[in-house]
Amino acid sequence: MDLLHRALLTAVGALSLFYALVKISLGYWKRRGILHEKPKFFWGNIKGVVGGKRHLQDALQVIYAKYKGRAPFVGFFACLKPFVLVLDLELVRHILVTHAGNFTTRGLYSNDGSEPLSGNLLQLDGHKWRALHAQSTGVFTPANINKLLPRIVLISRGVQRSLGKERLQTLNINELVDSYNLDVVASMAFGLSADHTEFRLWTQSYWGKFSLWRAYLALEFPLLAQLLNHKSYAVSAMAYFQKVVLGQLQEQRRRDRQPLQTFLQLYSNMDQPLDDVQIAAQAFGFVLAGLVPLNATLSFCLHELARQPELQDRVRAEIRKTLEQHSGQLTTEGLKELLYTKQVLNETLRLHTPYPFLLRRATKEFELPGSVFVIARGNNVLIPTAAIHRDPAIYEEPLRFDPDRFETEAKRTRPAMSFLPFGDGLRGCIAAQFVEQELLVGLVTLLQYHRYTPCSKTAIPLEYDNGRLLLMPKTGIHLNVERVDN
Ligand code: HEM
């Protein structure tokens, strides 16, 4: 047999093997006899998502709308990986709350041995997550969050300075809110003061040369990835973040007692403190889990308020009245009185849910009470929160931005688990209360003396960036910004 023949036979053999493996993988739901969306060869049910033609959220919403009401969950494939897509709010409650013990794992890749900063709460699973979670809940207590408020208020004055004194200007809102959120994270999670230029650069480049395929393989074969020493982030970025935190912790220990101002202090003051590198991993968690959704939420919120001036005026009036009643100071009590502003924030999180889905992996088999449905051990489970938030059976005219949906009475009429921007239960967002406080302070500062209106560059309708898993605007949100002193 000549060389060409052999090469041809090998190629045919390899292709046949590949074809058989794909077919076996995509036959998973059929073999289990579970209702599922018919997969396309290799891409499963996310064709167009990998190439950036549509957002994963769109693909999920289509499947959710097609199957809701027919079963508590439906099977689908992200490429070759089978997923449970949850359709029923009672099942959501079981997974997140009542049977959360069966679903404590998220299944993200972490290798804290060779990449220590991946040992953060978002990425860890199993006993490491459990121990860290138990310690971290002592940091994010309501009392601690309240104590951090004066520092956030101080940082927010930088926004006033960025807005300047001009009567009318056109601004890229993403840049404006990014500078506020970045200052908060740099200062409160990393202990940095003043100049955040270098910090900003690393927050923009820590993914390094991101390879979707390598990330996919790490998710699919984590043990192999660990063996091959796969790293999720740029080594230089991780070295920078770690160096900053270790330096700040040393500095902190040299100084006398300081007023409580940062998460670094909270982490190092715990009864059983984490070691310094573990603290650095939690600081990096703020960048990883927090920066994009914080920026997206404030940008989306101003975009919606610019389109509905009467709502914006109502928020501004509430902010001014509250400040007046608290001698111009933003206090914890004052924040509690910003009821309508909070409704506006919640409506933003509903309509533009930054984390459009929640992930869990079943660590034990789960039989739905009173039914024949079983989620098998090892199944990856996806809760499509953004699709739930846009379900017309739960939210009438779901694409309309209407903060009245979050009035106390209106909220009471909706079922439990129908609003989950921060997830829920054991693995819900640990920082939710801090986030709400930080976003409210941001809105107070942005809206107190400034009015936002659409300009010729404002993208209507708003488009999401299909290249990201989280929901964020595709292009900058440009708005006219007018100073309104009274
Ligand atoms: C608008 C801003 C934010 C939103 C909408 C948000 C939302 C979420 C959501 C949906 C989850 C997954 C919850 C689940 O699976 O049930 C999550 C997890 C998490 N978030 Fe946030 N988040 C925000 C900002 C932040 C910030 C600033 C931090 C800073 C520390 C943070 C820290 C975390 C952590 C550590 C987890 C993982 C918790 C665990 O697995 O135990 N988030 N967040």
Residues with CB under 6 A from ligand 1: 121-122, 133, 285-286, 289-290, 293-294, 297, 354-355, 358, 421-424, 427-431, 435
| Cα 13 to averaged position of ligand 1 atoms, centre (Å) | 46
Mutate to test the pocket of ligand 1, among 129, 351, 357, 429 (most ligand atoms within 8 A of CB): 429
Whether 40 maps to a domain, the answer reads no
Q: Is the dihedral of CA 387, 393, 399, 403 positive or negative?
A: negative
How far apart, in Å, do the first and last CA atoms of the chain sit? 89
**Average pLDDT per block of 10 residues along the chain, 486 residues long:** 85 90 94 96 90 93 97 95 97 97 94 94 96 94 96 93 88 95 96 90 89 77 88 95 96 82 91 92 98 98 98 98 96 97 98 98 94 94 98 98 98 98 97 98 97 95 92 95 89
Gap between the Cα atoms of 416 and 412, Å rounded: 9
Residue 395 resides in a domain: yes
* DSSP designation for 458: -
What was the pLDDT predicted at 255?
A: 84
Give pLDDT, residue 341: 98
pLDDT digits over 309-328, tens only?
Answer: 999 999 999 999 999 999 99
Determine the atom of ligand 1 nearest the C-alpha atom of 122: 37
Residue 352 Cα, ligand 1 centroid: separation in angstroms? 15
- The answer to whether residue 64 is domain-embedded is no
Domain assignment of residue 273, yes or no: yes
Q: Running DSSP on this structure, what letter comes out for residue 49?
A: T
**pLDDT for res 350:** 98
Q: Is 2 domain-assigned?
A: no
Nearest Cα to 454, choosing from 294, 353, 320, 305?
Answer: 305
Are the beta carbons of 446 and 479 closer than 8 angstroms? no
Nearest residue (by CA) to ligand 1, atom 20, is 429
Please tell me the residue having the least CA distance from ligand 1 atom 26. 290
pLDDT, residue 1, reads 64
Task: Identify the three-state secondary structure at position 371.
Answer: coil
**Nearest atom within ligand 1 for CA of residue 133:** 41
Residue 288 inside a domain? The answer is yes
CA of 464 to the centre of ligand 1 (A): 20
Q: Which residue's C-alpha comes closest to atom 23 of ligand 1?
A: 290
Angle at CA 151, nearest 5°, toward 406 and 205?
85
Asked if residue 479 is part of any domain, the answer here is: yes
Q: What is the CATH number of the domain that holds 165?
A: 1.10.630.10
Q: What is the pLDDT of residue 194?
A: 76
Chain centre to alpha carbon of residue 195: 26
Q: Which atom of ligand 1 is nearest to the CA of 434?
A: 27
| Residue 129 Cα: closest atom of ligand 1 | 41
What are the CA-CA distances from residue 316 to residues 174, 256, 264, 303, 327 (Å)? 20, 41, 34, 15, 17
Domain assignment present for 79:
no
Ligand 1 atom with the smallest distance to the CA of 385 is 10
Q: Which domain holds residue 391?
A: 88-483
- Structural domain tally of the chain? 1
pLDDT at position 52: 87
Q: What is the dihedral angle through the alpha carbons of 76, 223, 136, 427, rounded to the nearest 10 degrees?
A: 10
Distance, CA of 228 to CA of 222 (rounded, Å):
10
> Which one, of 156, 35, 137, lies nearest residue 448 by Cα?
156
Please indicate if the annotation marks 429 as binding a ligand.
Answer: yes
Ligand 1 center–CA 333 separation, angstroms: 25
The b/e string for 289-314 (b: 16+ C-beta within 10 A; e otherwise) is bbbbbbbbbbbbbbbbbbbeeebbeb
Ligand 1, atom 28: nearest CA belongs to which residue?
Answer: 290
Give the sign of the dihedral formed by CA 90, CA 121, CA 130, CA 435: negative
